[in-house]
């Protein structure tokens, strides 16, 4: 599905990460991409992350999935079901990300889908991430408040981070196809108006400094030997032996900074780290390694390849010639024909490889490796 009359430049300049924006049905022809029953089915699956939030007289209660199949028939009153990463299971839901790819793929997290009965919602809260809330079915009243931070008072609750004094600055009823953009940390509260309310949250990610420092340091530490340590062959006499003198601090600090300052190594680590799959899904992994002759034949015939919607593809340029391709926690160094192929693999969810490349052992090797790890498959139309 396409969106029209949406000024991306204006959006990025005035709203992205700055302030909320309501976009009234910008789709060519909005169609709800997922049946509520399919969502309920996903919430019963072991490897799918889901939550059920029910409203009772005293507030909201949350239970984590997987839910028992008969759980839904026992529900009454206001409730909402939330299922994470539905784009990994439904190509139609994955298609909702496409219009938002003006934000680079590495910043995209997943599509969470909620289904609510009249009055259902998760309460006033704020998230650390940007989100486009697309109304799929039914109506939801969204109220948006000011930017919050760590000092914003929260209600004591075991599972939900609910804001104590939520005061709305914006208040809208969203109809199917309407989109609300909420930047990180802006308070928001969505309540279903009537039954059969479905909302699709296209969520983004932004690594925290703590996560980056921890991950990068841990990675670099693995490569450091025990003999790589502080040395002071030029040790001067100091007046007070109790002092850790400034030159020693300088040298210690430099040891740390040197070990962490390699930008190329950082880029390789970050690309890999960011491509790690959030949920270990193995559905696309073939039982036996793919036959390379078969790969050659299918490439020569121009059979299209599709990316697993759960896979994370990205690339980094390293120098003029080399591209590092990152897919689901694996890194492939690509030069020559492979570099062009790596860029195409990252540009869209499906591609036809130039049949002229089907004779290249390197190309076959890369495609076969991606098929074997469950990130790619030939789309033979079955």
Minimum distance between the CB of residue 77 and ligand SIN, rounded to whole angstroms?
16
127 lies in the site for ligand SIN, by CB under 6 A = yes
Is the separation of the CB atoms in 327 and 315 below 8 Å? no
Q: Out of 49, 109, 127, 328, point to the residue binding Co ion (CB under 5 A).
A: 127
Across 105-136, b (16+ Cβ under 10 Å) vs e yields ebebbbbbbbbbbbbbbbbbbbbebbbbbbbb
135 lies in the site for ligand SIN, by CB under 6 A = no
Is the separation of the CB atoms in 324 and 315 below 8 Å? yes
84 lies in the site for ligand SIN, by CB under 6 A = no
Distance CA 308, CA 299 (A): 18
Distance CA 91, CA 88 (A): 7
Q: Pick from ligand SIN, Co ion, none: which does 121 bind, CB < 5 to 8 A by kind?
A: ligand SIN
∠ Cα 20 21 27 (to 5°): 145
Between 59 and 302, CB nearer to ligand SIN? 59
80 lies in the site for ligand SIN, by CB under 6 A = yes
201 lies in the site for ligand SIN, by CB under 6 A = yes
Stretch that binds ligand SIN, among 17-25, 121-129, 217-225, 226-234 (CB under 6 A): 121-129
Distance CA 154, CA 151 (A): 9
Taking CA atoms, 271 is separated from 36, 285, 326, in Å, by 36, 22, 6
Residue nearest to ligand SIN (CB): 114
Structure tokens at 278: 């959030």
Stretch that binds Co ion, among 54-62, 124-132, 225-233, 237-245 (CB under 5 A): 124-132
Minimum distance between the CB of residue 194 and ligand SIN, rounded to whole angstroms?
14
Other CB atoms within a 10 A radius of the CB of residue 150 amount to: 6
Distance CA 329, CA 202 (A): 22
122 lies in the site for ligand SIN, by CB under 6 A = yes
Q: Pick from ligand SIN, Co ion, none: which does 308 bind, CB < 5 to 8 A by kind?
A: none
On the question of a cis peptide bond just before residue 341, with omega within 30 degrees of 0, the verdict is no
Between 144 and 346, CB nearer to ligand SIN? 144
Q: Pick from ligand SIN, Co ion, none: which does 89 bind, CB < 5 to 8 A by kind?
A: none
Stretch that binds ligand SIN, among 23-31, 120-128, 248-256, 286-294 (CB under 6 A): 120-128
Chain residues binding ligand SIN by CB under 6 A are: 80, 114, 121-122, 127, 131, 188, 190, 199, 201
Chain residues binding Co ion by CB under 5 A are: 127
């Amino acid at each position: 599905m396409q969106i029209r009359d949406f000024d991306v430049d204006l959006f990025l300049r005035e709203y992205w990460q700055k302030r909320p924006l309501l976009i009234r049905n910008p789709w060519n022809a909005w169609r709800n991409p997922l049946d509520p029953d399919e969502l309920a089915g996903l919430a019963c699956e072991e490897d799918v992350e889901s939550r059920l939030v029910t409203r009772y007289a005293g507030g909201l209660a949350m239970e984590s999935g997987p839910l028992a199949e008969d759980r839904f028939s026992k529900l009454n009153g206001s409730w909402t079901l939330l299922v994470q990463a539905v784009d990994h299971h439904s190509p139609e839901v994955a298609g909702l990300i496409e219009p938002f790819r003006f934000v680079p793929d590495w910043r995209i997290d997943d599509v969470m889908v909620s289904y609510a009965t009249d009055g259902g919602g998760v309460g006033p809260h704020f998230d650390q991430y940007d989100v486009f809330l697309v109304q799929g079915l039914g109506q939801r009243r969204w109220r948006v408040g000011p930017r919050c931070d760590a000092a914003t008072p929260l209600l004591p609750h075991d599972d939900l981070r609910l804001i104590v004094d939520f005061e709305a600055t914006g208040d809208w009823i969203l109809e199917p196809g309407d989109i609300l953009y909420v930047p990180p940390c802006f308070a928001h509260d969505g309540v279903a108006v009537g039954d059969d309310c479905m909302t699709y949250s296209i969520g983004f990610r932004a690594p925290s400094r703590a996560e980056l420092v921890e991950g990068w340091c841990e990675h670099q530490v693995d490569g450091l030997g025990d003999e790589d340590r502080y040395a002071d062959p030029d040790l001067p006499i100091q007046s007070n032996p109790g002092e850790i003198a400034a030159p020693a601090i300088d040298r210690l600090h430099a040891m740390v900074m040197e070990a962490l300052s390699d930008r190329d190594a950082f880029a390789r680590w970050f690309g890999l780290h960011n491509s790690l799959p959030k949920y270990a899904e193995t559905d696309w992994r073939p039982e036996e390694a793919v036959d390379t002759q078969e790969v050659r034949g299918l490439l020569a015939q121009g059979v299209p390849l599709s990316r697993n919607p759960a896979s994370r593809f990205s690339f980094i340029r390293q120098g003029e010639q080399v591209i590092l391709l990152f897919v689901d926690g694996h890194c492939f160094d690509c030069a020559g024909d492979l570099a062009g192929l790596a860029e195409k693999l990252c540009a869209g969810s499906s591609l036809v490889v130039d049949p002229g490349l089907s004779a290249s052992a390197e190309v076959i090797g890369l495609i076969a490796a991606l098929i074997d790890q469950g990130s790619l498959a030939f789309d033979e139309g079955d």
